[in-house]
Homo-oligomer: A and B are copies of this chain.
Amino acid sequence: MASGKLSRAEALACPGCRHACHVMLYCDTKTLLFGSIPIRHIILMQMRFDGLLGFPGGFVNPSEESLEAGLTRELSEELGVALSILEEDHVDSCYAPASSSSSPRLITHFYAKKMEEEQIREVERAAVTTATDHGQEVLGMVRVPLYAMEGGGGLAPFLSHSFVGNARFQLTDTLLHLHLVAPEELREAGACSLKIQAHATEELRAALASAEVKSKLL
Which positions in A face B, CB cutoff 8 Å? 1-2, 31, 33-34, 39, 42, 47-53, 121, 124-125, 127-129, 134-136, 139-145, 149, 151-163, 168-169, 172-173, 176, 183-184, 186-187, 190-191, 193-194, 196-198, 200-201, 203-208, 210-212, 214-215, 218
Contact = CB atoms under 8 A, between A and B. Distances in A.
B1 A210 contact: yes
Contacts of A53: 161
Given A125-B128, A161-B162, A187-B215, A2 B143 contact: no
Contacts of A212: 183, 187
- Copies of this chain, how many? 2
A74 B190 CA distance: 32
A201 B163 CA distance: 11
B163 A190 contact: no
Name the residue in A31, A53, A161, A190 with the highest tally of chain B Cβ atoms < 10 Å from its Cβ. Answer: A161
B203 A200 contact: no
Contact of A211 (B149, B160, B173, B206): B173
A204 B214 CA distance: 33
Contacts of A215: 176, 183-184, 186-187
A80 B50 CA distance: 28
Contact of A176 (B48, B173, B218): B218
A136 B142 CA distance: 12
Given A212-B187, A215-B176, A157 B162 contact: yes
A172 B154 CA distance: 25
A128 B141 CA distance: 10
Given A210-B169, A211-B183, A211-B187, A162 B128 contact: no
